[in-house]
Amino acid sequence: MLFDDDPPEPLGAIDDDRLRLIFTCCHPALSPEARIALTLRMVGGLTVPEIARAFLVHEATVGQRITRAKAKIKAAGIPYRVPTAAELPARLGGVLTVLFLVFNEGYLATGAETEPVRHDLTTEAIRLTRLVHELLPDLRGGGGEVSGLLALMLLTEARRPARISATGELVTLNEQDRGAWDRDLIEEGHRLVRERLAAVAAGGPAPGRYQLLAAINAVHTDARDARNTDWSQVVALYDRLMRIDPSPVVALNRAVAVAELDGPDVALALVDRLPLEGYHAFHATRAEMLRRLGRSEEAREAYDLAIGLAGNTAESAYLIRRRSQLGAPDAE
């Protein structure tokens, strides 16, 4: 697939085979979408359907991106070799995106035939992100996004023991037993967030996407009880994130926080504007807001749509139970 007419180069700082391959596949000659899709498939081991769900696109679109990437590699004779130190910064953004998406697939697996949480993927994503953070200190620049991504993964992984019930159902953040969270991972994640905040305060670059997501998770994991969550701070952080990543998914997550701060009616008005009809979390969020507003029949319809689109078995079980709690539908 990749061409290499040159003699082998020293491994240098990247002495982990999988990490080297990720940096190699994230060649800047390929479009960002193509290099990420190719790397997720060839290195991350994700299937085309899993990659499609991660990007919220059709499977055919992912297949075309991978095919075009392979064709360009062949036509351009892009070498399969370890990037030089000077080439690494240009590939860092793509590498971090791949690691983030691999972690996300493990955090809430999208395949109906897989375990709801794939610890193998989250563990490997954290291991590789630690390597980038520890072995390539010169790449910690760029606004500290490597530190931010590592903190985000650690704070998310810390909640894993409390996320799935004994019956195999998803447990939402507000309902989780916080005593079961991994305090060591939380402490490490908070330390990384504090370090980045100190660097920004000292005149460093403004925080990027992963740093802001890590800061949001730090607020959640700092609260001893869901009722103690500082929702105003969460919304403020999402406001900053929207300025650099104004995607519909970020807007959806922001609306969830707005619902806690300003009420579900305000949040629902924000959600209804979003072009996310094919995304199960969009309908699940609408269902919960409609439920809180007492609009049970509309909530039931939203739950139906969310269940039909959800691929994760634990999430489906949670949504089915929530729908059943609405009671029997009104007779026509």
Q: What pLDDT, on a 0 to 100 scale, did the predictor assign at position 4?
A: 40
Q: What is the pLDDT of residue 10?
A: 43
pLDDT at 80: 61
Model pLDDT, residue 235:
98
Give the pLDDT score at 330: 59
Task: Please report, in tens digits, the pLDDT of each residue of the chain (332 residues total).
Answer: 443 444 344 444 566 777 777 877 777 778 888 878 887 787 777 788 888 877 778 889 988 888 888 888 788 777 666 677 777 777 888 889 889 988 988 898 776 667 888 888 899 899 889 988 876 665 544 558 999 999 999 999 999 999 999 999 999 999 999 999 999 999 999 999 999 899 888 888 899 999 999 999 999 999 999 999 999 999 999 999 999 999 999 999 999 999 999 999 999 999 999 999 999 999 999 999 999 999 999 999 999 999 999 988 999 999 999 999 997 665 44
Model pTM?
0.86
Question: Residue 177: its pLDDT value, please?
Answer: 97
C-alpha dist (Å) from residue 64 to 19, 217, 261: 25, 35, 43
- In this prediction, residue 328 carries a pLDDT of 66
Would you state the pLDDT for residue 136? 66
Task: Give me 231's structure tokens.
Answer: 């929702």
* pLDDT for 143: 53
pLDDT of residue 3: 38
CATH number of 230-323: 1.25.40.10
